[in-house]
Amino acid sequence: MTKLNDDQLQLENINRAKIQWELVVDSLPQLVIAIDENARITRANKTIETWGIGKVNEVNGLYISDFLKIFNDNMSKDITDFLGNFNNETHQDNDDPDWAYIWQQIKNKDTFIKKTKKTHAGRTYNYTLRKIENYNINKDQCFAVLIIDDITKLQHIEKSLKFQAQDLEKKVIQRTKELKQLNLQLEHELQNKEETNIKLKESHDYHRELLQVIFTTQENERKRIACELHDSIGQSLAATKFKIEGLLLNNKNIFNKDDNNQFNNIVDTIKNLIDETRHISMNLRPATLDDLGAIATLKWFCREFENTYSKIKIDLSLNIDEHDISDDKKTVIYRIVQESMNNIAKHGDATTIQLELNRSNSNLNLNISDNGRGFNISSLTKKLNKSDQPSICGFGLNSMRERAESINGTFKIESKPGKGTSILVSWKI
């Protein structure tokens, strides 16, 4: 009788934990789909019903490829694009991917993450296919997780910011045109040249203020979205993980080895979701930038960069006190470092990056240099009207220059083919 009661209690605890886990996953706004080793769906959360795709119990056992075709009638090509053409010779003329081959590729890798973004039926979705780490062969065990996130609202926000930027740019162009006409009129009438210079300075200040508004709006929106991800989804997942771990600890003498393995797999899945949420949040805007400052954030970013691009080494030199970096410069410095180092990783073919932030007398200096292939600056410049001043474009260089100048900084780039590239930015303190 005692053994029967213990077995019954054990089953009740298992069922309670499963129900609690399913409630958490069902509450997520993303569509979360668990897939077994044979590419069949073992479980989907209730977002599938919220989105009107079908019922949870209707998709269990479906091949993921069949489900995605239901999700979008024209999805077959998108499936190939999403999972990637692992064998061009085999898949070149096929509309549907060779799932046996794809799954074999996943099995041969310790970790496997595939991400893409697709727009269909007027909405935009992020797709993330992630292999479960430390997978043990078990027909009932989740082998991989597909997360489909509806980012239509975020896309609308980005479009809205883009339209705002375009509108502001039109105003700047219109204002500049008006000032040029005024300048010609003043020159024609031989009026005071000083008045013309004042008007031109006002135009420059106006342009700089507009850039500040654009960049501030973008950063505030990124910060808001990052906080929502951290405070809602991240904390809910963390709380669930702690509860399940507590349940395991308090009942370790009741659960058998298989039960413990199942619970540990659930905990691992939650950890993966927490890491993914934290990664997205940090990419939008690192919390350390506001909490700890620019120096701590740059150290964190360099560690993450070297972990991602292991063949590139960073020589970091931060010879400055945090109080010498004003709040408006913190964000600009981080964004310029982020953009330039991402450019180096994508286009530079460099093995070493020298990153230096220092104070020299009354100047705050940021220097970023690499030993990559470099480029011909003249090929990335264009003349403004008939002026001798070039406007640097391409690789996000113009955006970095505008960020620096929006807070009264100077931006300079030096590069030659085969000689690497250097970015030099300076502000008055």
Dist. CA 274–CA 122, nearest whole Å: 29
Dist. CA 409–CA 107, nearest whole Å: 51
pLDDT at 284: 65
Contact 268, 142 (CB under 8 A): no
Amino acid type, 327: D
Q: At what angle do helices 193-228 and 327-343 cross, to 10 degrees?
A: 80
pLDDT at 384: 34
Q: In terms of C-beta density within 10 A (0-12 exposed, 13-18 middle, 19 or more buried), how is residue 397 classed?
A: buried
**What's the Cα-to-Cα distance from 181 to each of 173, 174, 193, rounded to whole Å?**
12, 11, 14
Dist. CA 95–CA 158, nearest whole Å: 32
Helix (H, G, I), strand (E, B) or coil at 272: helix
**pTM of the entire predicted model:** 0.43
Dist. CA 113–CA 131, nearest whole Å: 6
For the domain made up of 2-150, give the CATH fold.
Beta-Lactamase (3.30.450)
pLDDT at 237: 72
Amino acid type, 31: L
Matching CATH number, 288-428, of 3.40.190.10, 3.40.720.10, 3.10.129.10, 3.30.565.10: 3.30.565.10
The counts of H helices and E strands in the chain are 15, 12
pLDDT at 138: 56
Q: What is Dmax (Cα atoms) for the chain?
A: 109
pLDDT at 282: 64
Q: From edge to edge, which strands make up the β-sheet containing 410-415? A: 313-319, 352-360, 363-370, 421-428, 410-415
Q: What is the DSSP letter of 29?
A: S
Q: What is the mean pLDDT of each run of 10 residues along the chain (429 residues)?
A: 68 78 83 86 89 86 83 51 42 46 69 65 78 63 83 82 86 85 74 66 68 67 63 68 75 73 77 72 72 91 91 94 90 90 88 94 94 83 42 64 88 91 92
Nearest to 241 by CA among 5, 50, 24, 19: 24
Four-residue CA torsion sign, 385, 390, 391, 394: positive
